[in-house]
């Protein structure tokens, strides 16, 4: 799990919207839930092949304000359960599901980098040369 903390309160709805749109553009099926200004986004890539090999990975993102900070939590999730699918299909697929698992870690890192950029852009921070 990755926790990305930004010093300052940002518009959680706008942050969540940008994250959901990024995931949609990457071909994920997404759903979002809001409660008391806190947002949860769940995203997955689904296909018959992924379901068959037990590699239907999901990413879960939480967007909330904590004190004077905006906090984004990103973790590997599951539309069902990732751990069970890995154990059950490792031998059957000869490790194919683990290759897809590795891909999901790459996507998560890309998402984390995108989130950092969104937070910087929304706060007006810009890179400077020193």
Q: What is the 3-state secondary structure (H, E, C) of 14-29?
A: HHHHHHHHHHHHCCCE
The angle subtended at Cα 128 by Cα 123 and Cα 129, nearest 5°, is 170
Residue 8, domain member (yes or no): yes
The number of beta carbons lying within 10 Å of the beta carbon of residue 72 is 26
Which residues constitute the domain of residue 49? 2-118
Residue 128, domain member (yes or no): no
The number of beta carbons lying within 10 Å of the beta carbon of residue 20 is 20
Residue with tokens 């949860």: 40
* pLDDT score recorded for residue 33: 95
Among candidate residues 111, 103, 93, the one with its CA nearest the CA of residue 45 = 103
Q: Residue 52 in contact with residue 64, Cβ under 8 Å? A: no
* pLDDT score recorded for residue 81: 46
Residue 124, domain member (yes or no): no
Residue 123, domain member (yes or no): no
What CATH number should be reported for the domain holding residue 30?
A: 3.30.310
How many structural domains compose the chain? 1
Dihedral sign (CA 42, 124, 106, 86): negative
Q: What is the pLDDT of residues 36-57, one digit of tens each?
A: 999 999 998 875 554 444 556 7
Residue 93, domain member (yes or no): yes
Residue 87, domain member (yes or no): yes
The answer, as to whether pTM is greater than 0.85, is no
Residue 126, domain member (yes or no): no
Q: What is the pLDDT of residues 71-125, one digit of tens each?
A: 999 988 765 544 445 554 445 555 554 445 555 678 889 999 999 999 999 998 7
Residue 97, domain member (yes or no): yes
């Amino acid at each position: 799990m990755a926790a990305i903390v930004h010093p300052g309160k940002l518009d959680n709805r706008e942050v969540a919207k940008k994250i959901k749109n990024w995931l949609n553009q990457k071909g994920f099926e997404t759903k979002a839930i809001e409660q008391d200004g806190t947002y949860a986004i769940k995203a997955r890539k689904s296909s018959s092949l992924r379901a068959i090999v037990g590699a239907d990975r999901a990413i879960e993102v939480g967007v909330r304000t904590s004190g004077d900070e905006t906090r984004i939590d990103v973790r590997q999730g599951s539309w069902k359960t990732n751990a069970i699918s890995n154990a059950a299909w490792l031998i059957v697929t000869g490790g194919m599901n683990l290759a897809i698992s590795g891909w999901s870690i790459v996507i998560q890192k890309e998402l984390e980098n995108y989130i950092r950029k969104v937070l910087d852009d929304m706060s007006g921070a810009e890179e400077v040369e020193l």
